[in-house]
Every structure is written in C-alpha cells, then in structure tokens.
Amino acid sequence: MINLNKWKKIVYYLCEFLLAISLFIIILLFILKITILSPNYIINKMQENNYYEQVYKSLEKEMPNYIIQSGLPKEVLEDIYTKEEIKKELDKYIKALYQGRAEKINTKNIEEKLSKNIDNYFNENNIRITEKESIDKFILQIADIYKTEIIQSDSILKMQDFIPKINFMVNIIIGIIIFISIILVFIIKYVLKNNIKSISFLTVAFLLLISYFFIKESIDIKNLIILTDYFSTLVKSILNQILNNIRNSAIILIIISIIKITIDNLIKKKKEIKIIKIEE
C-alpha cells in the first residue's frame, strides 16, 4: 500500500508537470496571438520590411510589359497610383482579412486615372479612338495587375474564413488553460501545502528550446520562397521573429529559475542558521 505522503508526492509532481505543460502552451499561443494572429503586427512588419515600397517597384516593373502590346506610350501609366494608395489598400485588405470580411481592392481610381491619361494622349496627338473595346480591355488588365500585386494569391484571400475562427479558438484555449493553471497552483499551494519548484520553469524553458530548434531544423527559413521575393522576405521576417520570441521566452524562464533557486537556497540557509543558533 502506498502511504498518504507518497500519494501527495505523486499528486504534487503530476500538478507540477501539468502546470509546466500549461505554461508552455500559453506562451506558444500568446506568441502566435501577438504575431501572425495580429493584423497590427503584420502591418508593422510590412512597414519594417519596406513591403509597400516593394509592391510599388514591382508594379513599376510589371506594367510596362503590357504597354508594348497595347501600342500606347509609357506615359499613360504615369501617376495612376501612389505609394500612399498602395499602403492604404494593403492595410485595409489585411484588417478585413483578420475580421473575416471579403474586402475588394479598389481599382476604380486607377481605372479612371489611366482612362484619363489615354484620353489626354489621344487628344494631344489628334488621334481618333477606333478600338474602344481594346482600350477598355487594356485598362481592366492593368487594374487586374494592380489587384494581383495587392492580394498576391487567391489562397490568401480564402484565409478570411479561417483567421477569425482560429483567433477565437486561441482565446478560448488560453482562457481554459489559465483557469486550469490557477487550479493547479491552488492545489500545490493550499491543498498539498507546497511551493512551486524551479523545475517547472526549467521544464517550460526546455520545451520552448526544443520547439525553437525543431522549427529551425524543419523549415529552411533562409531559402524560403513563397510567391514573390518581397512576400518571401516578409514571411521570413515573421518566422524569425516568432523563433526569437520563443528563444527569448526560454532564456527569461531560465533566468527566473536561477534567481528562484538562489533565493530558495538563501532562505533555506537562513533557516538552518536559525535552527543551529536555537539549538546552541
């Protein structure tokens, strides 16, 4: 038969282990919540990686390829969009994506400006418009290129159905695990009359470091290519930030554990000295 003290020890270590797992999950979910599940974080990362500038440059490079087929001069493409308009559309698109809304990219302005530039070109050179249908097709083609550069892929657009649900589930899971953690702390402190050991924090740190190295070895972030170069750069930056957050969390927990071990040892020594003095 296992006596009461042994049962208490088993329950205590089980609670410590479950608390470590709970803290590990909370930290990982929190890191996801403040990074890839946050529209503001994505927008800040886009700004940090000059994403808007890269989209603008890509459009400047891509659109002239279509002007040759139309027979129109490059000048008709001048000032049909600005970096500020690109930023506005991208930010609006990202926020809508995270809210689960299907936000259409506004191409009306670019179509109107391009149409006006073409009309001015024909008027200035006394050219009569004979192929209105071809010109309209060209305008829509340019507008479609603009939209594609903003959206990047229809697969990203489909994420609007999943991101709000994932965010909701993450919030629910964090809430449940925090509640479980509070119960575990209560059991350790007031039922088992014990303290939370440093080993719990070290276990969490160990699990975080395993996650860090596992992700680093599983994904070749440096050579990762998704859609375009600038989109790949953005994804790499986000993944590296997530890895840094995981690693830094592990380091902080190790430091906390060392401080706690030091304090616990000092308290223990102080008590031992007190006992010795009383005995004397």
Q: ∠91-96-101 over CA atoms, to 5°?
A: 160
DSSP secondary structure code for residue 128 in this structure? P
Task: Judge contact between 181 and 233, C-beta under 8 A.
Answer: no
The residue type at 178:
I
Read off the pLDDT of residues 229-280 as tens digits, 9 standing for 90 and up.
Answer: 888 889 999 999 999 999 999 999 999 888 888 887 787 777 666 665 555 5
Higher pLDDT, 172 or 11: 172
Read off the pLDDT of residues 138-187 as tens digits, 9 standing for 90 and up.
Answer: 888 888 888 888 877 666 767 777 888 899 999 999 999 999 999 998 98
Question: Element (H or E) spanning 145, and its range?
Answer: helix 132-151
The pLDDT-based confidence of 211 (bands split at 50, 70, 90) is very high
The confidence score (pLDDT) of residue 24 equals 94
Average pLDDT over residues 48-57: 89
Task: Judge contact between 195 and 188, C-beta under 8 A.
Answer: yes
